Structures are given as structure tokens and as C-alpha cells.
Amino acid sequence: MQPLPNWAFGWLLARDNTDPGAVLATITHPSFATMRLVRDKVPLTSRGQLYTPAAFNVNWVNDDGNPTTAQFTMPNSSPEIGRILMRIVDPVEVALEAISLAHPDEPIAQARRLQLLQVTVTAEEISGSLSGKNYANEPLGTKRVVPPRFPAMFRRRG
């Protein structure tokens, strides 16, 4: 996670803050065009990208240092989105960002490269689980680092 900008500390800690915040969601997959959504009633431009208003919800399940998990729901307002998500076999990638509407180009918090899993599409709602990859379970490399294979690593300096 990136460090917070200076203005964000005051924004987060202010008791009577009138500056509203918003959540941005960027949904990507090779089989469809990138969808950029903002949880608001009006379109928003952030870092040169236009975000379309949508009534989606994100419920964080954890924030304890383990891979991020959350529940994502949105109204099934367009039957095309539901059909696209039901046809996809591999996971869709989602990036979430919290921003201040006064500073839309500087995210306060980000959760990137989340996978949308267990997608359920009904006539009223699209829902799924967002999960970050757990890199702790990745296998270690299997090549041994020895001088004949990697001579540059064992070069003597003289």
C-alpha cells in the first residue's frame, strides 16, 4: 500500500469533515472492455479516466494483514453485464480505490489485483467474492544457483 498524502491524514482524522469520499472500482478482463465505476450519482474523472456512476457495494471481510477479501454486489441494471460475467471461465480482476472527491487524482487507499470469484447473477443483483492472491503459498524456484549455470553471479573481482 502506498503512503497517504499529507492532506489525507487531516481528511481521515477530521471529526466534522464536509469533504465527501467515494470508492472507485476498475473491472478488467481480456474478453471485455475495462469497466470503471464510481459509487456516486455523477460521473467522475480521476487521473484522466472517466468513471461511470454505479450503485455497487463492497463489504470488507478482513484487514488483518492477510490477503484482502471482500464481498462485491451491484444491481443487475444491464443484462449484458450479467451475460458477460456468466460466460467467463477465468477470474475477473478488480481494483478498488478510496478517494476524496476534493482530490480525485490521489487515492487514499487501494486494493489492486483482486480476483472476482464465485460470481452469482440474478435478475436483481450481481455478486461475488473479491480475493487477493496469497503469495505465501507460491512454490520456491527449482533451479539451483551454481557457477556453471549463473557464472556472472560468481565472477571474481580483482
Q: Provide the CA 36 distance to its chain's centre, in angstroms.
A: 11
Cα–Cα dist 49/78, whole Å: 22
pLDDT at residue 138 in the model: 66
Q: Tell how strand 21-29 and strand 92-100 pair up.
A: antiparallel
pLDDT at residue 1 in the model: 47
pLDDT at residue 5 in the model: 57
pLDDT at residue 15 in the model: 41
Residues 6+ apart with CB under 8 A from 30: none
Q: What is the mean pLDDT of the chain?
A: 80
| Res. 16 pLDDT band, cuts 50 70 90 | very low
pLDDT at 89 over 50: yes
